[in-house]
Amino acid sequence: MSSAERAGDEGISLLYNLSKEELVKIIVDDAKNWLAHDGLWFQAIERRYGMDVAVDADIEAWRYFTVIEAKRIMERLGMKPGGGIPALVECLKHRFYARLNLQESIEVTETRAVFRMLDCRVQSARKRKGLADHPCKSVGIVEYGEFAKTIDPRITTRCIACPPDPHPEEFWCAWEFVLQG
């Protein structure tokens, strides 16, 4: 019996016996479960208190979660804050969303990058159901801004396009990151 099993961590110890393919499936499934919970939580708040209250609560949740996520990614990758645009672009590849959505970083230089969400599971599902775009811009401003500042406090974030604002068909949202001075 391993020390993990003795400590009651059977769920973790089981992972050590799985193949790489099985682990990838679990990671993707866990990301889907996280997103489903996030969506159901939001919808519950929206039903009870309305869209404005749900968005305000979502902003506050993301204000803290995105920092936690960024710090954990940096720790896993052995990064320290201050890595500039290259570190941000790398960390964006490791977010939960990166396991579920089609995204890209373009126009990447040492001082600037544009990040685009080409396919968003949340928005695509709403589109399939005939619903309007989810108005996520106010949440995204906090989410992407705080994520980038956690990676490097010198990075500023600007929304290029995000619902409810109009956006081109080729992406749902786009964000510009610029390394200041």
Contact yes or no for 179/154 (Cβ under 8 A)? yes
* Domain 14-179 top-level CATH class: alpha beta
Averaged pLDDT, 83-112: 96
pLDDT for residue 6 is more than 80: no
Instruction: Tell me if residue 68 falls in helix, strand or coil.
Output: helix
pLDDT for residue 108 is more than 70: yes
> The pTM is what?
0.89
Nearest CA among 79, 96, 95, 86 for reference residue 31: 96
pLDDT for residue 4 is more than 60: no
Domain residue ranges in the chain: 14-179
At 36, the amino acid letter reads A
pLDDT digits (tens, 9 = 90+) for 119-164: 999 899 888 988 888 899 999 999 999 999 999 999 999 999 999 9
pLDDT digits (tens, 9 = 90+) for 50-67: 989 999 999 999 999 999
* Kind of pairing between the strands at 173-179 and 112-119: antiparallel
Determine the number of helices (DSSP H) and then strands (DSSP E) in the chain. 7, 4
Q: At what angle do helices 51-77 and 137-151 cross, to 10 degrees?
A: 20
Averaged pLDDT, 98-125: 95
